[in-house]
C-alpha cells in the first residue's frame, strides 16, 4: 500500500489493490490525516499500515475479531448490521455530499457504474423532500418566476 500523505509529497490519497487488481485512489478524510501521519511515522511507504494479528494481511475475519463485531451488534441489538453494510452507508453519505457517481465508482473500485448505483440507498428524508419539492413545483410555489411545464407556453399536448 502506498501512503500518499503530506509527508510523502502528495496530499489526500491512499492506494490499495482491489480484488479486481485495479489500484483505486481513495481520498483520505481530513479528520483521519493526523492519525495516519502518526501511524506512518518512521515507516517505509511500501510497509503495510494495518496488519493482521500475526503481522500478515488484514482479513475481514481479523477485523471482525479485533472490533468484537459480533458482540457489538448483539449489544446494540442490530443483528443485521454488517461491515459491508457500512460500506454502502459510506457510499451513500458521499453521494449525499455531492460526490459524482463516476468518482464514487473509482473510490469504491467498481468496474461497473451499475454496481456503484447499487450501493446507494436514499434516506426516506430525501424521498420525502423530493416529493415535497415536486409538489411545490407543480403547485407553482417553488419559484414564482418560473413557469411549470404544464402551464408554459412551450408546453405541447401529448402525441397520440
- Dump pLDDT digits (tens) for 22-52: 666 677 778 888 888 898 888 887 788 888 8
pLDDT > 70 fraction of the chain, expressed in percent and rounded: 72
Alpha-carbon gap, residue 160 to 154, rounded angstroms: 18
Query: What is the model's pTM?
Result: 0.62
Query: Which position has the grid cell 509527508?
Result: 7
Query: CA separation (Å) from 104 to 5, 46, 96, 119, 136?
Result: 21, 25, 11, 10, 31
Q: Is the pLDDT of residue 143 over 60?
A: no
CB 95 within 8 A of CB 118: no
DSSP-derived letter for residue 29 is P
Amino acid at each position: 500500500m502506498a501512503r500518499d500523505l503530506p509527508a510523502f509529497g502528495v496530499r489526500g490519497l491512499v492506494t490499495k489493490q482491489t480484488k479486481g487488481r485495479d489500484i483505486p485512489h481513495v481520498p483520505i478524510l481530513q479528520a483521519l490525516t493526523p492519525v495516519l501521519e502518526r501511524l506512518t511515522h518512521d515507516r517505509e511507504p511500501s510497509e503495510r499500515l494495518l496488519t493482521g494479528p500475526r503481522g500478515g494481511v488484514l482479513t475481514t475475519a481479523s477485523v471482525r475479531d479485533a472490533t468484537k463485531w459480533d458482540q457489538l451488534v448483539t449489544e446494540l441489538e442490530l443483528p443485521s448490521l454488517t461491515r459491508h453494510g457500512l460500506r454502502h452507508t459510506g457510499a451513500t453519505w458521499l453521494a449525499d455530499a455531492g460526490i459524482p457517481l463516476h468518482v464514487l465508482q473509482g473510490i469504491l473500485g467498481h468496474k461497473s457504474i451499475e454496481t456503484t448505483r447499487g450501493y446507494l440507498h436514499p434516506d426516506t428524508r430525501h424521498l420525502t423532500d423530493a416529493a415535497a419539492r415536486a409538489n411545490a413545483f407543480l403547485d407553482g410555489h417553488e419559484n414564482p418566476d418560473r413557469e411549470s411545464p404544464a402551464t408554459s407556453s412551450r408546453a405541447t399536448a401529448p402525441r397520440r
